[in-house]
Amino acid sequence: MPGRQVLNEVLTALQDAGIDAALGGSGLLAALGLTDRVRDWDVTTDADPHLVDRLRVDGADHDIDLIVGFPIRADDTVHHLPTRITGHWHGLPLADPAVWAQAYRLIGRLEPATALDEWLSTRPTSQQ
């Protein structure tokens, strides 16, 4: 997968700075076996934007989107979706599929939202 080395460097730099971050978007879909094509790498974090702004990683020609606070505007409301690490894939921290299903619904991308919802429906729910 193109750009995976750079993605590892970004995630390592964040981790070294004490910042939790997770892989979402089409990277998450690929990790779950829901797509075989990663368009770009989406990484989310709830870290203070000033901490993230100080990090520098040479991304070369790879497309990595670092999303801080994961804000999505829909229906005149800004939704701040949380970054939760729910697993790992090839050593990469994975975002919560339920959060990304919600994100895709909010931006009107129903196909990946439905795929994530269906994937989630096959997983056992935790007892609370």
pLDDT along the chain (128 residues), means of 10: 78 91 96 91 92 69 82 93 95 96 97 97 70
Give 4's contacts (C-beta < 8 A, 6+ positions apart). Answer: 90
pLDDT at 57: 62
Q: Which residue in the block uniquely carries the two structure tokens 């090839």? A: 90
User: How much is the pLDDT for 128?
Assistant: 38
Give pTM, 2 decimals: 0.88
Q: Are 21 and 42 in contact (CB under 8 A)?
A: no
Q: Locate all alpha helices (DSSP H) within the chain, ordered by sequence.
A: 4-16, 25-31, 49-53, 97-106, 110-121
